[in-house]
A and B are shown apart, each in its own frame.
Chain A
Amino acid sequence: MAEHGSPGRLSRLVDTAPLLIFALLLAYIAFEAHNFFSLLSFKLILNQSLPVVIICMGLAFVVMAGGDDVVSGGIDLSIPATAVLCAGIIAQWLATNGSLPVAVALAAGAALLVGAINALLVTRIGMTPLLTTLSMFVAVVGVNNVVTSSRRINVSDPVILWLRDGQIAGVPVGIPIVALIALSFYHLAHRTRIGLNMQAVGGSRDAAETSGLDVKKLQSASFILAATTGFIASFFVLARGSGSSPGVENNLMLEMVLATFLGAAFSGRRVVTLWGAVLGAVLVAAISIGFKSMGVNVFWTGLIKGSLILAVVAFGALAQRGRR
C-alpha cells in the first residue's frame, strides 16, 4: 500500500518546483531592475502588502478549518468586501465629524455580523462556503456602496495618518504592527486548543469527529475570525489609500486568493498555512513592484500572476499524483 522510505528524486523536484519558479523570477527581476534588493524597496514591498497579508491570514484560518477543496471545503471570498466595508464605515463616520472610537466600534460590529451570517449560512443552512461567501461579497460591497454612496472619502484622522507615515526606528510603523498581529495569529493557530482543533477539522473531518470535536462550532469560529481580519485590514486599506475608495475589493480578492494558495505550494506540508499565506502575500507584492520597477507595463501583471498561480497549482496537482 503506502510505500514509505524516501520519495523519488523526481517527486522531490516537483515538490520544490514552485519555490524554484519564484526564486528564478525574483532573481530575474533583481537582475533586470537595479536597486530591487535595496532596503527601501524592501520596505515598500512590505508596506504595500500589509492589507493582503492580514486578510490572507483570515482566509488561511477558514481553509485550515474547512479543508482545502475550494468548492466543497473552506473558503471565504467575502473578507476583502468586509475590509472595504469597514473602511467605508470608518471613513464615512469620520467625515461626518464622528469620533474614531465610535467609527471603529461600528466597523467591528459590521464585520462580526458578516462573519456570523457566513457561519450561519454554511453550518446551519448547509450552503457551500464558496457560494455563500461569493454572494456575501456582492451583498457586502453593495452595502458599502450605500454607506459611502460609491464616493471616494479622504481620511485625515491622525491615527490613520500615523499608520501611513509613522516610523519606528526608520521602519514604517505598519510593518511591526502587522508582524505582531501575525505572531498572535500564529499563537492562536498553533499554541491554542481552538486553533489546533480548527486545523484538525480541516485536515480530516472524520478524525475530528472521532476525537469528539464540535465541527460546526469550529468552522463558525473560523468565519468569525476571517471577518475579524477583514476588520483589522480595513485600517491598512485606509492608510494605504489615504481614505476609502470604491473598487478596491476586486483586486484585494484576487490577490488574497492568489497569495494564500501560492503559500500552500511553498509550505512543506503543502497545505494552506499562516506563514505560507504571509509569505505568499509578500512575494506577490514583490513581484508586482518588481515588474513595475523594471518598467513592465502594468497590464501584464495580471497575465503573470495568472500564469504563476496556474503553474504553482499544476505542480501541486502533479506532486499529489506522484505521491499516490
Chain B
Amino acid sequence: MSNRLLHLDQVTKSFPGVLALDKASLDIRSGEVHGLVGENGAGKSTIIKVLAGVYVPDGGRLTIGGRVIDPITPESVHAAGVRFIHQELHLVPHFTVTESVFMGQEVRGRFGLDTGGMRRRAEAFLRDVLAVSIPGNRLIRDLGTAERKLVQIARALIDEAAKVVVFDEPTAPLASEECATLMHAIARLKDRGISILYVSHYLNEITDICDRVTVFRNGRSVSVFDDIEDSTGQDLIAAMVGRELEDLYPENRRTPQASLLELENYSGTGFRNVSFRLRAGEILGIAGLIGSGREELIDTIYGLRRSTSGTLRLRSRQLRMRAPKDAIDAGIVLVPRDRRHDGLVLPMTVSENVTLATLDAISRFGLENRRRARQQTEEQISALDIRPSDPEKVVRLLSGGNQQKVVLGRWLLKNADVYLLDEPTVGVDVGARSEIYALVDRLAKDGSGVIVSSSDPGELIGICDRIAVMMRGEIVSVLDASDLSLDHLISVTTGAEPTEAAHG
C-alpha cells in the first residue's frame, strides 16, 4: 500500500432521515484509473461532494499523499492537488478557448494580460496532454460537446499541479464517437502519472479504462475489484445490486385491459420511431441512460415539445399536443422529473399547488371557493399522508417525498387516464417511495395507464408490467418485467449486452 495516494477512510454522512454514507471508504493509488460505480442513491455523488469539500462529513477522514486533510474544504483539497471535472460544463459560451482555460487564473504580462502566452500554453496543453488541436481563439459555443469537455479538463489541469482528477459522469452528454476522444485523453493523463477517479453509469467504459473499481451500495463501499481485467460487467452488476429484500414494491400484478395509448413511429427531437401500446391497468416502464431520449419522449407526449412525425392515439383517437393543457384535457398528466422547477410553484402553499390544475372545480363565479380548496387539499393530504398536514405550508419547505406527493395529489384530483411519471422517486426517502409505488399500483388497478420513466432499474422491475429500453433515441428492446432479472435489465440498458431491436 505504499503507492496509495488518496484515502477516504470510514466516511459517514447523514441527512435528515437518510444515511447517505455509512463508513464508506475509497482509496486511489498513484497513477491508476479508479472506477466508482453504484446504483442511484448508493452514495457516489455524496462521497464526491465530501471529497470536494461541499459536504462536511459526520465522521471519517481524508488522507492525501500521507497527509491528513483537515478540515476538508474546497481550498484545502485544491491545494492538495485534487481537481474535479463536474458533470455540468460550466463554461461561458461566448468566451474563447484560451479565456475559458485560464478563467480565474489568468497570467499577467507586461501590458495587462499575457494573452499570447496564455494562448500558446492552452493550445500546447490541449495538444500535448489531451491530444487534440483546438485553436485558442475559437469560441466555446462553436465547439462540440466533447471539445468543450476537454476545455473543461484543461482548465482544471493547466496549473500542472493536479495529482488526482475526479471525472463525474463525463460521457453522459457525449455521442459514442466523442467518447473515444475523451477516453484517449484520460489515457494520456494516466501516462503522465496522474491518478483518476472515474464515476460512470456506463459499465463498458468502466471495464475498458479502469485499473481498479470500487462498488458502492446503500452508502457503503461493498467491494473493491483489484484486477478488473479478470472481471466482467456482470460481476460489477452483481456487486452493485446485491441481493436484498424487495418488499419496497407492491406484490400483486395487474391484469391489463383494453388499449389506451398508442404511439406509432413517434419521433421528435432526441428520439425517433418510437412505437408502443399502453393498456388500461398497465404500468409500462421506460429504461435508458442519460441521453437515451427518455426525457424528450415523455416531454413530447405531454406537449412540452412538438413531435416531428408519427402518431399518438388515445382511446383510438388521434391527438396532437400543442401544449400541456391539450394533454391534460385529453386525460394525460405528467409528474415531471425536476419537480422543484417544473412540478411545483415552490413559493406557493400546498393548497395552492394541489388545486392549481383543477381551479375550475373550486371556482364560484370565477372567485376561488377557499373552503372547497381547503377541503380538497385536506382530502389529498390525508389520502397521500402528506406531512406536515398543513394546507397552508409553503411547498418549498417540504421534503422531497412530500413535494412529490403534492404533485401526485394535484393529478389525483383530475382523475386522469394516463399518468406519465418521470423519475418519480428521485430524492424521495424510502418510506415515501413505497407509498408512491403503492399509489401507482392502485392507479393502474383502477383502470388508468401508467408510464414510468426511471433510471432506477430496481424500481422499474418492481412496479412495471413491461419495460421498454431506450438507447440513443430509440427503443431497443421491450422486456416483460415479471421474469426479468436486474442484471439483465442493467446489461441491456448500459449496452453491456447487445440487443436486437424489438417492437411492442
Contacts and interface: CB of A to CB of B under 8 A. Distances in A.
Asked whether the complex places CB atoms of A and B closer than 8 A, the reply is yes
Interface of A: 1-2, 4, 187, 191-193, 196-197, 199-200, 203-204, 206-208, 210-213, 269-271
A212 B88 contact: no
Interface of B: 74, 86, 88, 90-95, 99, 103-106, 108, 111-113, 115, 139, 141-145, 155, 173, 270, 291
B103 A200 contact: yes
Contacts of A4: 142-145
B104 A197 contact: yes
A191 B113 contact: yes
Given A1-B270, A204-B92, A210 B86 contact: yes
A191 B106 CA distance: 10
14 contacts: A1-B145, A1-B173, A1-B270, A4-B144, A191-B112, A192-B112, A193-B106, A196-B113, A200-B95, A200-B104, A203-B94, A206-B90, A211-B90, A269-B94
Q: 10 closest A-B pairs (Cβ-Cβ)?
A: A203-B92, A211-B104, A191-B112, A269-B94, A207-B90, A211-B103, A193-B106, A4-B144, A192-B112, A204-B92
A1 B99 CA distance: 25
Contacts of B104: 197, 200, 208, 211-213
A207 B92 contact: yes
A107 to B, nearest CB: 28
Nearest to A211: B104
Contacts of B93: 203-204, 269
Contacts of A271: 94
B292 to A, nearest CB: 12
B92 A200 contact: yes
Nearest to A1: B173
A72 to B, nearest CB: 16
A207 B103 contact: yes
Interface core residue of A199, A200, A204 (most chain B CB under 10 Å): A204
Contacts of A191: 111-113, 115
A148 B173 CA distance: 61
A211 B142 CA distance: 21
A319 to B, nearest CB: 13
A40 to B, nearest CB: 36
A203 B140 CA distance: 12
B95 A203 contact: yes
Contacts of B99: 196, 200
Contact of A206 (B88, B94, B95): B88
Nearest to A4: B144
A69 to B, nearest CB: 15
A212 B106 CA distance: 12
A23 B411 CA distance: 54
Nearest to B108: A193
A2 B94 contact: no
Contacts of A207: 90-92, 103
A191 B90 CA distance: 22
Contacts of A206: 88, 90
A269 B139 contact: yes
Contact of B155 (A1, A211, A213): A211
A2 B108 CA distance: 35
Contacts of B95: 199-200, 203
B103 A196 contact: yes
A53 to B, nearest CB: 22
Contacts of B141: 269
Contacts of B113: 191-193, 196
A90 to B, nearest CB: 31
Contacts of B112: 187, 191-192
B92 A1 contact: no
A200 B155 CA distance: 14
Contacts of B115: 191
B92 A199 contact: yes
Given A204-B93, A211-B155, 17 more contacts: A4-B142, A4-B145, A191-B113, A191-B115, A192-B112, A193-B106, A193-B113, A196-B106, A196-B113, A197-B104, A199-B92, A203-B92, A203-B94, A204-B90, A204-B92, A269-B141, A270-B94
A198 to B, nearest CB: 11
B271 to A, nearest CB: 12
Contacts of B92: 199-200, 203-204, 207
A270 to B, nearest CB: 8
A187 B115 CA distance: 11
A70 B89 CA distance: 25
A270 B94 CA distance: 9
B413 to A, nearest CB: 33
B356 to A, nearest CB: 24
A147 B475 CA distance: 74
A2 B142 CA distance: 11
A168 B103 CA distance: 41
Contacts of B142: 4
Nearest to B147: A4
Contacts of A211: 90, 103-105, 155
Contacts of A199: 92, 95
A306 to B, nearest CB: 28
Contacts of A213: 103-104
Nearest to B102: A196
A262 to B, nearest CB: 18
